[in-house]
Chain A
C-alpha cells in the first residue's frame, strides 16, 4: 500500500519534471510556473497555519519581500537575480521572525489581523519608497541572459525544485521533535509551555521555515514576470488563493497544499480563458470568494484528510477500538525511577535540586498577592511544601486554590510576593523556565493535545531544551521508551496509539499524569485529581500517588474529596478568601474550629458540593 502510494507520487513528480521536454508550449509552462509559486507559498503557509495553528491572511507578502529584495540587490550588485534569490529568502525569513514576535502575546484572531496588516503595510511602504522600489511605476528586473532555446526552463526548474524542497521540509518538520512541539502549540499553546516546550523558539523557527522558501520563490517569480509592481507582488487575492489552496487540499497534511495549488491555479486559468472583457476580474473575485466560503462550509478539513478518513473507515471496518474500554483493576507496576537518578547524564533541573539544596522545604511561597482588577484572589499567602511530602491544599470553591497553582506555575505574573523552588527564586521566570526548573501541574479539566496520539502527548513533554534535539524523530530513542514506561505505569499502555481526543475523562487524567512525569518535575501540582472519576480509578490513583511519593516525588494536591486527600496527605493547608486559614497536620487541620466553620462545617451543612 505504502509502496504503491510512493510509486504513484513519484510518477507524478517525474511527469511534471518532464513537461518542458515534451511540449514547447509556453502557455503550459506559464501555468505550471504559477502553480509552483502557489504550491510553495501554500506549503509554507501550511507550516504556520496548518502545523502551528497560526492562520495568516498575508502570506503573499513574503513573495513581495523576496522578489523586491532580490531585484534591488541584483540591480545594485549587477548580478543575476538567481544568484541573490536566496537572500530574498533570508529577507522573507527575517520579516517572518518579526511577525513571530507579534505572537508573543497575540493568538488566534489577533494574529490573523497582524498578518493582514503586515501585508498591507509592506505594500504601502513599497509604493511610497519609490526611490528604491520604483513605487507605483514598478521595478524592472534585468532580462534573462540565457539562450532563447531554453525558453523558460530555468524559471520552471528553479521553482519546481523549490516545490520539492517545500515538500521535503514539511515532511522533515512533521517527523521531528520540532513538528511535535508545533502541533502541541496548535492544540493548546499554554499547556505546551507548561510541559516545557519552549514555544517562542519553536514558533520563531516555524515562522522562518514557513517564509524562507516563499521568499526564494518570490525572487524567481519576480525575475520571471520581469516587472515588479505592488499589485502583483503584495497581492491580497494571491494571499487568499494560498489559504484556499491549503484549506482545499488539507490543512496540516504534506501533499494537501500542493494538490490545492494545482486545483486553484487550474480553476483560475479556466476562468481567465473562458471569461473575457471588463468583467472578468470581478467574476473571478466572486468565484474565489465564493469558493473559499464553500470550502469552509462544506469541506472544512480539506480533500486529503476527508479521503483518508473514508479510506480508514473502509479498511478498518468495525474492529473494536480500545478507547472507552473498562479500566481493569490490575496490580500496579513499580514506579519508574526519576530520570536524573537512573539514565545517563542527569538533567540540569534534577541535579540542581537533589545536590544543591539545603532547605527542607521544596516549594516556598512568600507573601503572594494576586489581584485581578478590584478582586484580590490571593492575599499575602505564605506557605511551605516540605520536600517529599504530599501536601493537601483545601478550601471552599473560589478560595484561590487554582489561582495559587497558576501563580506558582507562571500562568500569570503575580501582583507581589515571591515563589521559590528548592531555595531558588522562580517568581521572575516564565512558564517554560518554571517547567524546566521542576514545576509540573495538572488541570482540573485535563488538558491534552487532542489531535495527537497518547504516546505523542507524553513524549511532547520535555524537561530541558536543546536546539539540536529538535531535528530528532518526534517519538524516538530513550524518550520513546520512557514515555511507554510511564504510560504502562499509569495503566494506559494499551492506549499508546489512540488519539487523545477520543479518550474518556478519567483516561485523560491518567495520560496527563504520565505527561507530567515525563517532565520529571521536583514538585507535582495536581488540581482535583479525584473529581469525577469512579472508585476503581480513584483507588488506582491513590496507589499511584503513594508509589510515586515513595520514589521521592513531592506532591501538592487540590481536592474537595476530604476522605481521599486527607488519607493521602501528610501536610495540609487550608485557604479561605484568598488567605491561609490553617496549616499543619491533616488531623489537626480537619478539627480546627476555624476550618470547620469556614469550610468543613459549611460543607457538611449544605451537603457535599461535589
Chain B
C-alpha cells in the first residue's frame, strides 16, 4: 500500500515535470492594456494574401476579434501574393505607403534603404511598450540580429520560427507501398541507394489508371531537390539563411555554387533528370500541379515541407517520412537545408505615413502578435471552435471540423475563415507547440526529429549562420548582385539539369560567367562579416 502510494506520488511528480517540459513558452499578454485606445482609430494596412485565404480580411474571425479587443479599426488594402513584390517596390519607390505594412515581407535591403531615409519607423524607440516582442528577441538573439540594421535600428518585425521542425526545409516523402515495391522497408539513405530506388519504381503503374504517367520523384521547384542534396555534397554547409555563401575549412567564405561539390550535385541531378526519374516539368510546374500529381498517385515520391499534398487522398495512410539525409560519395552525412529562427524579412512595418500619435498604439498592437494569446488566436483561431486546449497537459489541437472537413477541403482552406497565417511572412512566432501547420504534423515532426541530428551545427566544426545584414549602400549593391546570381543560376541550372550544357565540358564557362557577376566582391563582403562576428 505504501509502495503503491509512493509509486503514485512519484508518477505524479514525473508527470508534472513532463507537463512543464511541454508547457508552452512565451510571454502572456497584459490584459490591462486593452483596449489600446479610448476612441476608435482607423489605420490603413496593406497586406498580402495567398490563394488559400479570402482576400477580404474583414470577414476573418481573427481580425474581427482583434478590432474588438484593441479598438483599432483596420482598413485593409489586399495585394495578391503573386503581385506582392511589384506592388511593394512601387509603393516604396513612390513613397505612397499606407500607415502600416503587414505580411509584406520587406527585405533587409529595403529596410535599410527606406528605413534609413525615414520612410519606415524604428521600433527600438518603442522597446518599452513592446515587452512580448523583446522577450522573443532576447530568447533568440539571432532573431534580433536578423532585423537590426547596420544603423542599429529595427524597422520591422520578423517571423520567428522557434520550432526547429518549421525550419527544416523541404524533404522527401515516401509511400510504404512504393518502398515495398522497390524492395525496401525503410527509405534509402545513400545517393546510390536513392537512385536505385527511383529506378526500381520507374514505370510502375501505381495508380492503376492504365497510363504510363507515374513520376518517380515530383516537386514544384527544381531548387527543392537542390536543397536536399546540399548536405550530401558538402555544400551550403552553414545553413540556408545565407543562401549564396558558406565556409571553407580555413574559415574564409566560399561561393559554393561554383565549388566542386556543386558540380557533382549537378551531375547527380542531371543523371536523375536524364533517366526520367524526375518530373520533366519541374521548370514550369506549380505547387498546385504537384498536389494534383500526389493526389492522383502519379507522384510516387514528392518533395515538400509536410505531407499535405496527399492529405485527404487514399495515399495519405502510406506516408513514410525522410528521417536521415542521403549519405554522399565521400561520406558526407549532413542536412544543410536548415535555417535560423528568423529571416531578415520585416513582416510588419510602421511607415512614416502613420500619424505620430498612433505609432505607439500600433507598436502595442503588434506586440499582441508575440504574446501567447496572440499566437494562439492568430495561428489557431477560436477556442473550442477551431482548436481545443487541453489545460492539463497544456497542449493544443485543431478540432475535427478543421482537420476532417466533410467536403474534403484542405485544412488551411477551412481554417482561413478564422486565421490568415497561411503562406508565411507572419509577424509573429511559430513554435513547435502552437504552430499547427503541416510542419508540425506527426509525420513531419518525425522527419524533423530525425534530421535535426544532421544539421550543420551537429557536424564537426560546423555551425548554422544567422543571416548577414549590410549597411544601406552596401545592401543595395548586394541585392543587385544576388538578383543577378539568381537569374544566372536559374538559367544554368536548367541547362545542366536538362543536359543542354555538359557538367564537365561547360563548367568552366559557367564559373567564369558567374564570377563576372561579382562573386569576388560578394565574398569580400561576406569575409568582412565573418571577421566582424568572429565566426
- Do A and B pair up? The answer is no
